[in-house]
Amino acid sequence: MTTPQDIIRPDVLAMTSYPVPDATGLIKLDAMENPYSLPAGLAAQLGEHLAGVALNRYPAPRPSDLLAKIKRAMGVPPACEVLLGNGSDELISMMSMACSKPGAKAVAPVPGFVMYQMSAIFAHLEFIGVPLNADFTLDADALVAAIEEHAPALVYLAYPNNPTGTLFDDADIERVIAAAQKSLVVIDEAYQPFAEKSWLPRAGEFDNVVVMRTVSKLGLAGIRLGYMAGTARWITEFDKVRPPYNINVLTQATADFLLDHLDILDAQAAELRAERERLARAVAALPGATVFPSAGNFLLVRVPDAAVTFETLLTSRVLIKNVSKMHPLLANCVRLTVGSAEENAQLVAALKLALH
C-alpha cells in the first residue's frame, strides 16, 4: 500500500506544521491580534449586512468595487493596481510560485517573518537569510552584497520587522531598492497601523517594488484579507497564479462594510500605540528585562531564561511567544503582543513573578 513517505517530498516530510497553540482560557498575547472587538451597534449593522450575502454563489474573483474602495481608503497611488490574497501569506505564496524558475532565489533579513522562507521552500526557491545587526537594525552592506552575489528573484523587507519590531532606516531601504536591479523588492507593511510610516505612497515610483499590507493587525485577523499594491506589470503576472475564488464572499462583504468605518479601527490602533509605550516602560523596569524599540503592536524582550519565562506566564494563564530558538540573535527573547490595558496589567504582574 502506498504511504506518504512514498510520494511526498522528503523536505516536507521532515517539516513540522506551523504551530498554533490552543489559547482556550488564556490571555492571548502571542499572535499580534487587536484585542478590541467592534462596538455592539456596528457589529449588529455588520450582521445585517452579511445576512444579505449570496452564500450560494462563488465570490467575484476580482471584486472591482472593493478594489476601488481599498485604493481610495488606503491611499494607493494612481499608478498602482491592487491584488487581494487570503492574508499576506497567500500573496507571499503567489509570488514564490510565480518566480519559481530553475535556480531562482529569495533573500530576506533574518530573523524575520517565517513565511518568506517557508513559501520559498515550498516553491523550490533557494532562501538566503542575511542576519541583522546585533541591535536588530538592518545590515544594509551585507544585504546589498547578498543581492549582488545571488541576483535573487525576490527581496523581502518587513517594515516594521517581525519579530523584532524594527523599523528599518529609509536610506538603507533605498540602497536595497537601487541594488536590486534584477529583483523584485517586496516591502511588507503588515504592522503599518502601528508604525505610522509607509512606502505605499511611493510604490508607483519604482519599477521593482511592490508593497504588501493586511487588515489582520488593524483588527480583522479573522477575515484573512491581505492586499498588494504595485504597478500593473507586476500585479497582472501575479494575478495569473491566484486561485480563482480566493477571497470568500463574507470576507469581501466584511471588508467592504468596515472600510466605511476605518475611523473606529484607526482609533483602536492609536490606543494600542499608547499602550505599547506604557507596556514598554513597565517591562523595562523589571529586573533582567531588556526591551527593544518596536514600531509594531508587540515588544521583543530579552530575559534571563526565555523558556522559564514562557512556562511561568502560562501558569498565570498568559500566552506569549517564545522566539528564542528562531535564530541565534534571538537568544532568550520572548515576544509580547500589546493587549488592552487590563491584559497588559496582568501580563506585567505575571512577568514580575517570572523575573523575580
Question: Based on the domain organization, do 108 and 247 belong to the same domain?
Answer: yes
pLDDT attached to residue 199? 97
Which of 207, 229, 260 marks a domain boundary? 260
Q: Is 108 a member of any domain?
A: yes
Q: Is 150 a member of any domain?
A: yes
pLDDT attached to residue 157? 98
Range of 112's domain? 59-260
- In tens, the pLDDT along 134-174 reads 999 999 999 999 999 999 999 999 999 999 999 999 999 99
Report the SS3 class of residue 25: coil
CA dihedral sign, ordered 235, 89, 56, 253 = negative
Round to whole Å and give the CA distance between 327 and 131: 9
Query: How distant, in Å, are the alpha carbons of 16, 83, 318, 330 from that of 120?
Result: 16, 20, 33, 22
Query: How distant, in Å, are the alpha carbons of 32, 112, 129, 221, 293 from that of 160?
Result: 13, 10, 17, 18, 11
Helices (H), 31-113: 40-51, 64-74, 87-98
Question: Based on the domain organization, do 108 and 221 belong to the same domain?
Answer: yes
Query: How distant, in Å, are the alpha carbons of 96, 120, 241 from that of 128?
Result: 14, 10, 24
Q: What CATH number is attached to the domain comprising 35?
A: 3.90.1150.10
Which of 214, 233, 260 marks a domain boundary? 260
Query: How distant, in Å, are the alpha carbons of 274, 283, 334 from that of 292?
Result: 16, 11, 11
pLDDT attached to residue 262? 94
Round to whole Å and give the CA distance between 209 and 219: 26
Question: Based on the domain organization, do 320 and 250 belong to the same domain?
Answer: no
Q: Is 53 a member of any domain?
A: no
- pLDDT of residue 22 exceeding 90: no
Judge residue 36's burial from the number of C-beta atoms within 10 Å of its C-beta, 0-12 exposed, 13-18 middle, 19 or more buried.
middle
- In tens, the pLDDT along 254-278 reads 999 999 999 999 999 999 999 999 9
Q: Is 195 a member of any domain?
A: yes
pLDDT attached to residue 101? 96
Round to whole Å and give the CA distance between 78 and 150: 33
- In the predicted model, what is the mean pLDDT of residues 122-139? 97
Q: Is 20 a member of any domain?
A: yes
Beta bridge partners of 82: 229
Question: Based on the domain organization, do 169 and 249 belong to the same domain?
Answer: yes
Question: Based on the domain organization, do 273 and 284 belong to the same domain?
Answer: yes
Round to whole Å and give the CA distance between 178 and 204: 15
Q: What is the pTM of this model?
A: 0.95
